[in-house]
């Protein structure tokens, strides 16, 4: 098969990133991260950041690509899910590039990109996937042409829950990594609501209860208990999916996958069952352009390109809406 190079653009939320890859190499990667001064991620502010940075970023990556003698075969972009204003900014850039270079446009589902880069980096074929990030928390697995969702959050994503609690406790965004550090100095577990309904879970009651618990418990103990409770919920549903589907591999992806305690808890569960845990390096867990370029390449090779007229952004794009034509 001919070697093809794809340029991928990510920018659904905090990280504006572009990368060029082929089947075996990451040729170039550039990024610019939006960090709110105070408070959480604001869609309009993030999109203004992306709009002011994207021109420079694209110029830079095209120059780097030229330096390596790359001739691009397609432009891939995150079509959703994500913040509408952010998605529109990167979609506009992707359409303009596709038209001016006269190469196909590819609309990538951001959740599936997290999964596909995890599969590539860990070389795992058919796992149960735990996808945990700011906006999303899902347990998925491939069956009959789609990534099926076995369980998911009924309200907010786990990362979002951690960040909300973190903001309340006075941490800068994102709170997740800070909570992980502080939890290490805890002395005891304080009871917090554990909410699993069927195969789904919920984090908003837990977040409120954790804020309330700060009145009578130390910050360290509450950070620790928040993690233990929320992660136990995620591990329980992942284990039930493994048992139900009869697979032996678990793949952890998404920004919250960087958390060492979550990895440890999943690993224990996997060892207990004789299953294996796979987790890519942190730079492939969080949002990045490489995952969009890689999924774009898989889609290009299976003919899943997009007409400009069908390239409107999809802020609520679900992974189980995608026909996975490349597996």
Q: Which two tokens stand for residue 214?
A: 């700060």
Using the rule CB under 6 A, is 287 a contact of ligand ATP? yes
Decide: is 12 part of the binding site for ligand ATP (CB under 6 A): yes
Segment interacting with ligand ATP (CB under 6 A) among 131-139, 142-150, 244-252, 263-271: 131-139
φ, ψ (nearest 5 deg) of residue 210? -65, -40
- Residue 50 binds to ligand ATP (criterion: CB under 6 A): no
Burial of 211 (0-12, 13-18, 19+ CB in 10 A): middle
What is the edge-to-edge ordering of all strands in the sheet holding 15-21? Answer: 26-33, 15-21, 5-10, 72-80, 105-109
CB of 292 to Fe ion, least distance (A): 10
> Which of the listed partners (Fe ion, ligand ATP, none) does 80 bind, with a CB threshold of 5 to 8 Å by partner kind?
none
Percent helix, strand and coil across the chain, each to the nearest 5:
45, 20, 30
78 binds, among ligand ATP, Fe ion, none (CB under 5 to 8 A by kind): none
Residues 6+ apart with CB under 8 A from 122: 251, 278, 279, 280
Three-state DSSP at 268 gives helix
Is residue 152 a contact point for ligand ATP (CB under 6 A)?
A: no
Q: Are 54 and 89 in contact (CB under 8 A)?
A: yes
Q: Is residue 258 within the footprint of ligand ATP (CB under 6 A)?
A: yes
The entry of ligand ATP, Fe ion, none near residue 53 (CB within 5 to 8 angstroms by kind) is none
Using CB under 5 A, which of the segments 87-95, 144-152, 283-291, 299-307 binds Fe ion? 283-291
Asked if 133 touches Fe ion (CB under 5 A), the answer is yes
Nearer to Fe ion, 73 or 137 (CB): 137
SS3 292: helix
In whole angstroms, the minimum distance from the beta carbon of 15 to ligand ATP comes to: 6
Q: Does residue 174 bind ligand ATP (CB under 6 A)?
A: yes
* Using rule CB under 5 A, residue 287 touches Fe ion: yes
């Amino acid at each position: 098969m001919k070697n093809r190079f794809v340029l991928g653009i990510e920018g659904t939320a905090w990280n504006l990133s572009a990368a060029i890859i082929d089947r075996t190499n990451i040729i170039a990667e550039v990024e610019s991260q939006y960090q709110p001064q105070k408070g959480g991620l604001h869609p309009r502010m993030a999109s203004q950041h992306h709009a002011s940075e994207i021109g420079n970023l694209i110029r830079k990556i095209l120059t780097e690509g030229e330096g390596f003698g790359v001739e691009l075969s397609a432009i891939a972009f995150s079509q959703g899910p994500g913040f509408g204003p952010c998605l529109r900014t990167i979609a506009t850039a992707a359409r303009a590039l596709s038209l001016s270079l006269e190469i196909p446009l590819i609309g990538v589902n951001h959740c599936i990109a997290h999964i596909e880069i995890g599969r590539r980096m860990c070389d795992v074929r058919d796992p149960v996937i735990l996808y945990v990030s700011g906006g999303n928390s899902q347990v998925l697995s491939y069956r009959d042409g789609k990534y099926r969702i076995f369980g998911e959050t009924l309200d907010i994503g786990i990362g979002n829950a951690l960040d909300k609690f973190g903001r309340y406790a006075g941490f800068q965004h994102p709170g997740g990594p800070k909570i992980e550090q502080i939890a290490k100095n805890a002395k005891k577990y304080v009871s917090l609501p554990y909410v699993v309904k069927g195969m789904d879970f919920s984090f908003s009651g837990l977040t409120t209860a954790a804020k309330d618990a700060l009145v009578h418990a130390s910050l360290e103990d509450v950070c620790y208990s928040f993690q233990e409770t929320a992660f136990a919920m995620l591990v329980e549903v992942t284990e039930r999916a493994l048992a139900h589907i009869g697979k032996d591999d678990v793949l952890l992806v998404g920004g919250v996958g960087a958390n060492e305690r979550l990895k440890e808890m999943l690993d224990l569960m996997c060892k207990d069952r004789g299953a294996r845990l796979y987790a890519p390096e942190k730079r492939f867990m969080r949002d990045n352009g490489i995952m969009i370029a890689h999924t774009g390449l898989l889609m290009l090779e299976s003919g899943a390109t997009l007409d400009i007229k069908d390239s409107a952004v999809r802020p609520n794009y679900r992974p189980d809406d995608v026909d996975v034509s490349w597996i």
